[in-house]
Each structure stands twice: as C-alpha cells, then as structure tokens.
C-alpha cells in the first residue's frame, strides 16, 4: 500500500477556508472551538499517548482554555495552540499557523545554522549583503539578542515546535526554527569571534532547489546517490534516467541522511532495484473505537496490519554490488520508511546516526482563521516488533557529527575500504 507521508515543516493536506480574515482576532467562541477540536481529535486519533505518560490530556486542555481566551491577536492564539499540541511530542502531530501570518511573523532570514554536539554554527549565508558584514560559515553562534543561545532556544522556540525524539528536537529547534520571527524586527547574533552581527529577516534569499536525486561517482568507482526526498514530478523517470550510471559502479552509497519524506511507494521503487528477494516493509497499527466495547470497559482497540511485500523489479538488471545507506537525525518520515525496508531486505549496512524517529499518516483538520492541524493516526514499527517512532532507527556503524558537510560520505568511504 502506498502511503503519503507528511513532509517536514509542510502540511500536505488542504484545509477548508474560514470566512473570517486570518489577520483579524478571533471571537472567544472560535478560540475555544479551535482548542477543543485539537483536544477532541487527538483524544480520538493520536496513537502515541503511551509515549507521554505524564501528560494528563484532559487537565491540560482545561488549563489552556483561559490561555487561548486571553490572547490578543490571532497569531498569539495560534502560538498557544502550538504550545498545547507540542506537549504530545510527535513530529507528525502539529499546528500550522495561517499562511498570511507566517509570512510576516514567522519569516526565516537568509541564514542557516547547524547543530553539532551542542554547539550552533553558521552553515550557509544566502545573501551577499549579509555576507558583506563579515559573517562567515563555520562561526559558532553563542547569543541571540544578548541571550545565551540555549536559553533563547529553550524559552522562545522549543515550546512551540513538534518533535518525536531528542535528536529530532535539536534539528527542529536549532536549525529549522531558531532564527524565525517578525520580518520587520532585526535581531543580533554574537559569535565566538567576539563580534555581533545584525540580521535582517527582510533580506532576500538566494533560492536554490535541491534535486530529488543527486548522483556522482567518487574515488575507487564508488557511487554516491543522494536522495533528498521521495516526492516530486517524474520521480520514477528521473531515477530510471540515472540507473544505468549506478550500475557501472563497484560499490554504492545511498544517502538519505537529509531526506525529509514523501511517498513510501517511491522509497520502495528504489529498493526494488537493489534486492534479489522479497522483503516486508514496516508493520503498522491504528486505533479502533467501538461504542459497545466502551460500554463494557474496553475503550481502546488496536487494528494491527502487516507491511507491504516488496518484490525485486522484474525485467531489469538489478544492482548486486555492495550497498551502504547513510542516515542521520535529518532522516525523516518516508526517508525512515526507506531505511526500514533496506534493513528488512538485509541488503547492506546502515551508517551514520539515529534517525529523527517520526513517521506515520496524519489526519488533517481546519481551524478558525484559516490555519490547521494534523494528528498522527498510524503507528509504524519493524516487522519484528521493534518500535522506532519516538526512538529513531539505529545505525549499524556510527559516524559522529561534524561541521564538515562531507563527514558522512568520508566515513562511509573509509568503511567501504
């Protein structure tokens, strides 16, 4: 069964429009309704309550009623909804702020950061004006607006993000969300070189779109296939167009270390080219509610399901040389489904660091003010019963993180020797 897995930071379901302008404040009735909808739908559909055993969902809902009522703007209201939903601690369960509010209140500057062993570095500068200030890639950031960077992140960013594991949290907080904010409010960062840099979120960004597949041949005729996502136009045709080059290599690195998701059916399509026997994808289960069972004291039932049976692709020359797969904390959603399939196929070695530990099928709902939210309704796990959502998929061989963007590839090449 093909399953469309939600992408990181992108809500792929569509929400029905509300007539009320999302830039206006909502009525008290609308505020309570939106909060109540999240509470109700999570209570009915969320499949990971056992992973937040200390969360009293009903009590927390009641505590947030006066909080949402007291908000002064729709943006403040949605931040409270995010804070409420974040307590479920799941990367596929989230609240999405209305688009017009995100454009002004949740803008990212032309600057990217990287989290490495508890430190945060400038990783990319995407505007020449910003670069001309003297800011450079590789500098460590220690303060934002005069506040220690970890204090800033823990107080102003972390309560509003959605994550399933500690490694997922670090990426969401320190890389994807850390510098976002009001487009009209400059902020300052201080680096370990002692200098303070003023950053404008209004600066234009040099936009580059990464390809779905990026293939090249490295030393000793080792192929490196970087798969950035499992969605996009003509994905199958694009893979087919490079497959003849892949076949020419003596060994192959499949890099899903920054793959943020897509369609697990496409992940299986790639796997079909490198296997010689059938394997099973992740098993999964979902909740069933039957009112009569509830009356007898059996409130929650699970429907357990086998994964798909994936067979080698027919009528092609299959790749039979050694294969390794690279993973990291940025391997997300359908990227993790690919890794589960690769492990189950017993086709090769997994190298890197534990994955984000978040996948599944979310249900999407609309909220007052043209925002929305999603609840993870499907719980995936290995066919042998091992859970990986909320934990991450472990590599066979670990490569420590580094500011060097090629550290995983270089580590893989050493192992392949």
- Report the CATH number at residue 228: 3.90.226.10
Find, among 13, 9, 16, 78, the residue nearest to 361 by Cα. 13
Q: Phi and psi of 338, rounded to 5°? A: -60, -45
Residues 256 and 402 in one domain: yes
Residues 265 and 178 in one domain: no
Residues 133 and 167 in one domain: yes
Q: Distance of CA 160 to CAs 163, 189, 198, 347, 416, Å?
A: 10, 21, 25, 39, 41
Q: For residue 152, is it within any domain?
A: yes
Residues 238 and 312 in one domain: yes
Count of C-beta atoms within a 10 Å radius of residue 273: 17
SS (H, E, C) 96-151: ECCHHHHHHHCECCCEEEEEECCEEEEEEECCHHHHCCCCCCCCEEEEECCEEHHH
The H or E element that residue 28 is part of is helix 28-45
Note the pLDDT of residue 207: 78
- What is the tens place of the pLDDT at every residue in 346-364? 999 999 999 999 999 999 9
- CATH number of residue 179's parent domain: 2.30.42.10
Q: How many domains does the chain have?
A: 2
Q: Phi and psi of 393, rounded to 5°? A: -90, 130
Boundary of a domain, candidates 144, 174, 199? 199
Q: The tokens 């496409």 sit on which residue?
A: 266
Q: The tokens 């080698």 sit on which residue?
A: 312
Q: For residue 23, is it within any domain?
A: no
Inter-residue contact 164 to 358 (CB < 8 Å)? yes
Residues 119 and 251 in one domain: no
- What is the tens place of the pLDDT at every residue in 71-127? 999 999 999 999 999 999 999 999 999 999 999 999 999 999 999 999 999 999 999
Q: For residue 350, is it within any domain?
A: yes
Boundary of a domain, candidates 141, 169, 199? 199
Inter-residue contact 35 to 371 (CB < 8 Å)? no
Inter-residue contact 389 to 164 (CB < 8 Å)? yes
Residues 256 and 396 in one domain: yes
Mean pLDDT, to the nearest integer, of 370-378?
97
Round to whole Å and give the CA distance between 152 and 145.
9
Q: For residue 34, is it within any domain?
A: no
| Residue 43 predicted with pLDDT over 90 | yes
Mean pLDDT, to the nearest integer, of 41-66?
97
| Residue 20 predicted with pLDDT over 70 | no
Give helix 264-271 / helix 334-345 axis angle, nearest 10°: 30
Note the pLDDT of residue 206: 79
| Residue 5 predicted with pLDDT over 60 | no
- What is the tens place of the pLDDT at every residue in 139-178? 999 999 999 999 999 999 999 999 999 999 999 999 999 9
DSSP string, 62-76: HHHHHHHHT-SSHHH
β-bridge partners, 217: 223
| Residue 212 predicted with pLDDT over 80 | yes
With cut-offs at 50, 70 and 90, classify the pLDDT of residue 1.
Answer: very low
Residues 187 and 285 in one domain: no
SS (H, E, C) 340-402: HHHHHHCCCEEEECCCCCCCCCEEEEEECCCEEEEEECCEEECCCCCECCCCCCCCCEECCCC
DSSP string, 296-343: TT---EEEEE---EE-PPSSS----SEEEEEE-TT--THHHHHHHHHH
Boundary of a domain, candidates 158, 177, 199? 199
Percent of the chain at pLDDT exceeding 70: 94
Say which residues have a Cβ less than 8 Å from residue 253's Cβ, sequence separation at least 6: 218, 222, 223, 224, 225, 323, 324, 325, 326, 409, 412, 413, 416
Q: For residue 4, is it within any domain?
A: no
Please list the alpha-helical segments (H only) found in 145-247: 149-152, 166-171, 235-246
Question: For 79-88, 169-178, 192-201, 290-299, which range has the lowest pLDDT when averaged over its residues?
Answer: 290-299
Residues 163 and 262 in one domain: no
Residues 249 and 341 in one domain: yes
Q: For residue 207, is it within any domain?
A: no
Residues 195 and 225 in one domain: no
Give helix 28-45 / helix 57-69 axis angle, nearest 10°: 160
Q: What is the pTM of this model?
A: 0.91
Mean residue pLDDT of the chain comes to 92
Residues 221 and 346 in one domain: yes
Round to whole Å and give the CA distance between 274 and 246.
11
- What is the tens place of the pLDDT at every residue in 334-348? 999 999 999 999 999
Round to whole Å and give the CA distance between 266 and 239.
10
| Residue 15 predicted with pLDDT over 60 | no
Note the pLDDT of residue 25: 82
Note the pLDDT of residue 301: 85
| Residue 325 predicted with pLDDT over 50 | yes
Q: Phi and psi of 223, rounded to 5°? A: -85, 145
With cut-offs at 50, 70 and 90, classify the pLDDT of residue 24.
Answer: low
* Residue-range definition of the domain harbouring residue 278: 213-359+380-416
Q: For residue 18, is it within any domain?
A: no
Count of C-beta atoms within a 10 Å radius of residue 265: 20
Residues 336 and 385 in one domain: yes
Provide the token pair at 386. Answer: 């091992």
Q: For residue 88, is it within any domain?
A: no
């Amino acid at each position: 069964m093909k399953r469309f897995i939600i992408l990181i930071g992108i809500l792929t379901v569509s929400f029905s429009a509300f007539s009320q302008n999302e830039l206006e404040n909502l009525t008290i009735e609308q505020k309570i309704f939106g909060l109540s909808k999240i509470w109700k739908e999570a209570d009915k559909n969320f499949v990971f309550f056992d992973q937040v055993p200390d969360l009293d969902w009903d009590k927390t809902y009641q505590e947030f009623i006066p909080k949402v009522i007291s908000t002064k703007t729709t943006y403040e209201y949605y931040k409270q909804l995010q804070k409420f939903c974040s307590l479920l601690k799941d990367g596929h369960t989230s609240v999405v702020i209305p688009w017009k509010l995100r454009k002004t209140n949740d803008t990212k500057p032309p600057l990217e950061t990287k989290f490495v062993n508890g430190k945060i570095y400038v990783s990319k500068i995407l505007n020449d004006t910003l670069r001309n200030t003297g800011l450079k890639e590789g500098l460590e950031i220690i303060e934002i607006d005069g506040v220690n960077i970890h204090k800033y992140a823990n107080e102003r960013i972390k309560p509003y993000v959605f994550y399933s594991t500690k490694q997922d949290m670090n990426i969401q907080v320190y890389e994807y969300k850390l510098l976002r904010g009001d487009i009209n409010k400059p902020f300052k960062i201080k680096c370990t070189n002692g200098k303070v840099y003023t950053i404008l979120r209004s600066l234009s960004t040099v936009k580059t779109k990464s390809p779905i597949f990026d293939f090249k041949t490295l030393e000793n005729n080792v192929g490196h296939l970087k798969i950035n996502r499992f969605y996009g136009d003509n994905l199958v045709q694009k893979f087919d167009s490079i497959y003849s080059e892949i076949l020419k290599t003596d060994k192959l690195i499949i890099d899903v270390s920054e793959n943020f998701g897509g369609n697990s059916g496409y992940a299986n399509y790639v796997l079909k080219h490198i296997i010689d026997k059938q394997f099973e994808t992740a098993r999964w289960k979902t909740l069933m509610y039957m009112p009569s069972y509830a009356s007898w004291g059996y409130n929650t039932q699970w429907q357990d399901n086998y994964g798909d049976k994936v067979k080698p692709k027919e009528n092609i020359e299959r790749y039979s040389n050694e294969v390794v797969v690279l993973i990291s904390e940025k391997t997300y959603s359908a990227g993790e489904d690919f890794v589960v399939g690769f492990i189950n196929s017993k086709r090769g070695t997994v190298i890197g660091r534990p994955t984000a530990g978040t996948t599944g099928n979310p249900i999407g709902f609309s909220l007052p003010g043209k925002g929305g939210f999603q609840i993870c309704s499907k719980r995936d796990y290995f066919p042998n019963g091992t859970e990986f959502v909320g934990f991450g998929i472990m590599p066979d061989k670990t490569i420590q993180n580094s500011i060097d963007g090629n550290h995983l590839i270089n580590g893989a090449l050493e192992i392949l020797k």
